[in-house]
Structure 1
């Protein structure tokens, strides 16, 4: 996985596009310093998380959870169907982190499903087949 550290990051243009669409959230500390961000995109009735990043020194302090909860609340307010993402399924802290917040692995996706295509695209970019999984959180109206 060392190649991942050298992989291309999301372009500035793409970040600006997602910000303009209102699907980016930022966590800041009391001094206004950015501690993390979450970038997502609408796909029909789903809000798909492209990236959740938290500064290493802030990991384990709740910033990631707060960002995810903000996205989940946004999905509720927009009356969406689900929040989706892809992540590493064999990294001990990834999948369990999302599961604690109610996300479930999508084990059987139709070949033409958007998340199945997202996984195939990740494998084409160098991820080992089977190393990634799709997850979703179903919105429940409050």
Structure 2
């Protein structure tokens, strides 16, 4: 059976979107129920509305909206010097696998290049198919321990304190202006 093409567009997030983003993250996290050791993530607290509001105010949050204008995905980032760091990207569970995440990443890459930034970074699960392997296909590379700056080290340490197994997460980077293969 052929998967239907879904219609969506991407725009900067608006103040009114902040209240909707935690529910999108909760929906996206349901995919972790299929991985017994990570199923707890499906019940974990999402990023707060207040943190999303800060990203929206800084104009570093984008949403994908369906044909009716309802947000179905988001990408929340923060600027860290000459790079952008992805705090969270989530797509509602029923819309995953339709290119929405890839489109959000490309939107960020174009924006970062226009704003003269050098890289985009994130932390993610090393072995979850829709995490590091997905980002690798989008031009991100895993950073080795000696390539991590203090900020990325601190994020990985905080994630370990939050309950993620040490070594299960990695930091990745995509240089801005480099096209993915």
TM over 0.5, shorter chain: yes
Note the residue ranges of structure 1 that are not aligned, 5 or more in a row. none
Higher Cα radius of gyration:
2
SS at match of 2:107: helix
What TM-score does the superposition give when structure 1 sets the normalisation length? Answer: 0.94
Q: Which has the higher helix share?
A: 2
Once the two structures are TM-superposed, the CA of residue 114 in structure 1 deviates from its matched residue by 1.2
What TM-score does the superposition give when structure 2 sets the normalisation length? Answer: 0.74
Corresponding residue of 2:123: 86
Corresponding residue of 1:10: 47
How much is the aligned-residue C-alpha RMSD, in angstroms?
1.6
Pick aligned residue for 1:106 from 125, 143, 147: 143
Contact 2:152–2:171 (Cα < 8 Å) also in 1: yes
Structure 1 residues 135 and 10 mapped into 2: Cα distance closer, same or farther (>3 Å)?
same
Note the residue ranges of structure 2 that are not aligned, 5 or more in a row. 1-37
Aligned length: 142
Give every structure 1 segment of 4 or more consecutive aligned residues whose post-TM-superposition deviation is greater than 4 Å: none
Structure 1 residues 132 and 141 mapped into 2: Cα distance closer, same or farther (>3 Å)?
closer
Corresponding residue of 1:23: 60
Q: How far does the alpha carbon of each residue in 1:94-141 deviate from its partner, in whole angstroms, 9 at most, with x for none? A: 112111111000012367521111101100111000110000001127
